[in-house]
Structure 1
Amino acid sequence: MHIELGQPVPDFSASATGDTTITLSELRGKQVVIYFYPKASTPGCTTEGGDFRDHKKAFDNANTVILGVSRDGLRAQENFKAKQDFNFPLISDKDETVCTIFDVIKLKKMYGKEHLGIERSTFLIDATGNLANEWRGVKVPGHVEEVLAAAEALNASR
């Protein structure tokens, strides 16, 4: 499955931190940033999450909700969120439902071994539920600023 830019993002419901369930369709009227990261509490994922945390007020001002997603269980997500003081929900996608919608599970190599894992990726969904922008194979430095600029520009064009 691959969602094209400008196309509706399929609705989903997923378990998230704070004993909540996130349902995409319930966020209509707001823009949504969904960022996928390989593993909670690892250096790159901690840096990326911290960048989103530190820019949350600007995302709020751009009418944009932030959601982080990995295949970690809820307990790992809760611990990661609490330890890093993240101010947005983290989704536990152990069954890869959300990962599959966005086609982020890729064959990766680590220490010479191949395995399936999450390709660090970010998606911006407009207030009507359509895919507005995507970033795949993300490098963390400067990424959140780029996503924020896109969210601000999209919000200003409404």
Structure 2
Amino acid sequence: MPALEVGQVVPDFSAPATSETTFTLSDYRGKSNVIIYFYPKDSTPGCTTEGQNFRDMKEELDALDTIVVGVSKDTMRRHENFKAKQEFNFELISDVDEEVCNLFNVIQLKKLYGKEYMGIVRSTFLIDKEGVLREHWDKVKVKGHADAVLESVKAL
């Protein structure tokens, strides 16, 4: 499946999320910008830091009519524990069947200690209130990333 292009309307999708909710992208159309960030695994150092960075800028994002949602292949139970422990003020999508990951083309070949495997490449997508993809970050480095995303939201 080809990657989504900047300027393209993101196809609608629904997926199970924390707090016993279902995240549906079209629910935010006309109301909020949406930051969707994909990360490899709950409770790992980089993923924890990235989530904390988005958590800590909630007030600024709220003022810009912007919500954050995180996505990984972890189970809902792991997500609920991770969210509670880190006091995340946003929902996490459990994408165990990789449907959302495949829509955004974030499952890619990765290498770790010489082994190759398919996994989530840390990526972030900024979708405006009209459902249009405005910016995409691929192979994200956590340090400074949330700040860069915030600057892009301010520029919308």
**What TM-score does the superposition give when structure 2 sets the normalisation length?**
0.97
Tell me how far apart the structure 2 counterparts of residues 98 and 56 of structure 1 sit (CA, whole Å): 23
Tell me how far apart the structure 1 counterparts of residues 99 and 22 of structure 2 sit (CA, whole Å): 14
1:101 matched residue in structure 2: 103
| AA partner of residue 26 (structure 2) | S
Deviations 1:40-67 (A, max 9, x none): 0000000000000001111111111100
1:137 matched residue in structure 2: 139
Per-residue deviation, 1:111: 1.5
> Is the counterpart of residue 151 in structure 1 residue 153 in structure 2?
yes
| AA partner of residue 23 (structure 2) | I
Tell me how far apart the structure 2 counterparts of residues 141 and 28 of structure 1 sit (CA, whole Å): 30
Give the 3-state SS of the residue equivalent to 2:117 in structure 1. Answer: strand
| AA partner of residue 37 (structure 1) | Y
Deviations 1:66-114 (A, max 9, x none): 0000000100000000000000000000011110111000111112111
Tell me how far apart the structure 1 counterparts of residues 113 and 4 of structure 2 sit (CA, whole Å): 32
2:129 matched residue in structure 1: 127
Tell me how far apart the structure 2 counterparts of residues 46 and 3 of structure 1 sit (CA, whole Å): 26
2:20 matched residue in structure 1: 19
Q: How does 1:56-135 map to 2 (within 5 A)?
A: 56-135=58-137
Per-residue deviation, 1:12: 0.4
1:42 matched residue in structure 2: 44
Q: How many residue pairs are counted as aligned between the two chains? A: 154
Give the 3-state SS of the residue equivalent to 1:141 in structure 2. Answer: coil
> Is the counterpart of residue 3 in structure 1 residue 4 in structure 2?
yes
**What TM-score does the superposition give when structure 1 sets the normalisation length?**
0.96
Q: CA RMSD in A?
A: 0.6
Per-residue deviation, 1:38: 0.3
Identity over aligned residues, as a percent? 62
Give the 3-state SS of the residue equivalent to 1:53 in structure 2. Answer: helix
| AA partner of residue 150 (structure 2) | L
Per-residue deviation, 1:3: 1.1
| AA partner of residue 47 (structure 1) | T
| AA partner of residue 11 (structure 1) | D
